Amino acid sequence: MMSKLIRLPLLLIVLSFIHAATGFAETPCFKCHKRADFQGKIVHQPVAKDQCGLCHNPHVARFKGLLQKSGATLCYGCHKDKAAVFTQGIVHQPVRQGQCLTCHDVHASEAKGLQKGRLSESCFACHKTLLSKFKHTHRPYARGDCLACHWPHQSGNTQLLKSRPDELCLSCHKSDTVKQAHRDFPKEANDCLSCHNPHGSSRRALVRDVLHKPYKKNCAECHGRGRMSAETCLRCHEEIRGEVLALHSHLLDQEGCSCTACHSPHAGDSGSLLKGKQKQICRSCHEDTFNRYQDRLYIHQEVSDCKECHDVHGSNHLAMLKGGGNKSCIHCHKTQGKFTHPVGEKVL
């Protein structure tokens, strides 16, 4: 009889621990935390069901906010279907770094998907350069509908686009209308972004601000002279011929690579007529290089552009580095460049 009396309280204690671990009916949380602070138009399901214990430990934890786990690891505990998908193709930086809270509120929000405010506000919080006041704007950009063209987490296309640029544009801009507007242009020229800025421009029809001189004056300077090649560009840009013909060259090492892989032949947003930010352009071909170091414990401090270490057209040094040996490194690490450690089998 006594053993039964002892077992009953023990059973109740064990059940209470299981109850807390599963996170159900945790109304005691709201004795201290105001429920009104966790309400909104869209409420995270664990909050709506008073399941605080799904994310938080009620007593102690290794992570801030008494969280059970850190970052995206915690989110993927429920959103298991996203874990594998969000590592494929080109991944948005916050997603790649496991920083879901960069864009999402965890408890409640007035916006769909628990977004932090309006969609455009979330995007522009990081993409501040896109807040430029254009004279002419693309309609999706003007209404803050970034998801009309971009996926927010990952994509198989550059710039997180929903599909290839030409396919994406033609999904709204009907083919017949586009053909009529471009009737005097080469039929194979189907890269809309080589001439048009998808967000806005000071020019009508969203034509990019900086025009290539031949495009501005006389198309025949490039077109109508046979097959387009790097030599077409070098006829005017003689100053980079040495770089292009270097021992390690983008144009010579990569089959099918041409100047127009990185530069627009018609119009751009800067004098170099690059098709986008330099890192994005490099990543469009070298995705494996960017992904390789993401999970490393020690990563080189973020640099603004690949060209800080690499010559973008060509170099006589391996990997198109600007200098051989340690020269590329001591360009920034000036103190370390004043001494050297002996190397070789007999050093130690």
Let me know if residue 14 belongs to a domain.
Answer: no
In a domain, 112, yes or no: yes
Is residue 24 domain-shared with residue 112, that is, in the same domain?
yes
Residues 225 and 267 in one domain: yes
Residues 26 and 88 in one domain: yes
Residues 200-236 as b/e (b if ≥16 CB within 10 A, e otherwise) read bbebeebbbeebbebbeeebeebbeeeebebebbbee
Alpha carbon distance 95, 82 (integer Å): 11
**Do 203 and 221 fall into the same domain?**
no
pLDDT interval class at 10 (50, 70, 90): low
Which residues are within 8 A (CB) of 190 and not within 5 positions of it... i.e. 6 or more apart?
166
pLDDT for position 20 = 46
Mean pLDDT score, 141-157: 93
Please count the structural domains in the chain. 3
Segment 147-168 mean pLDDT: 93
pLDDT tens digits for range 201-238: 999 999 999 989 888 887 777 876 667 778 888 888 99
**Model-wide pTM > 0.85:** no
Domain containing 64 equals 19-117
pLDDT in tens, 301-335: 777 788 888 999 999 998 899 887 778 888 888 88
Same domain, 195 and 274: no
pLDDT number for residue 201: 93
Picking from 66, 86, 117, the residue at the C-terminal end of a domain is: 117
Same domain membership, residue 111 and residue 142: no
122 found inside a domain? no
Task: Kindly state whether residue 222 falls inside one of the protein's structural domains.
Answer: yes
pLDDT at position 343, please?
Answer: 66
Indicate whether 49 and 105 sit together in one domain.
yes
64 domain residue, yes or no: yes
Separation CA 323–CA 315 (nearest Å): 9
Domain presence at residue 239? yes
Question: Do the domain assignments include residue 125?
Answer: no
Reported as a single tens digit per residue, the pLDDT across 162-184 is 999 889 998 998 878 887 877 76
Q: Which of 70, 88, 117 is the last residue of a domain?
A: 117
Q: Say yes or no: 23 and 81 in one domain.
A: yes
Instruction: Tell me if 5 is assigned to some domain.
Output: no
**With pLDDT > 70 as the criterion, what percentage of the chain qualifies?**
85
Phi–psi pair at 268, nearest 5 degrees: -155, 180
Same domain? 196 vs 222: no
Lowest mean pLDDT among 21-25, 231-235, 237-241, 343-347: 21-25
267-275's contacts with Cβ under 8 Å and 24+ in sequence apart are 267/194, 267/195, 267/196, 267/207, 267/208, 267/209, 267/210, 267/211, 267/212, 267/215, 268/208, 268/209, 268/210, 268/212, 269/197, 269/208, 269/209, 269/210, 270/210, 271/210, 273/210, 273/212, 275/193, 275/194
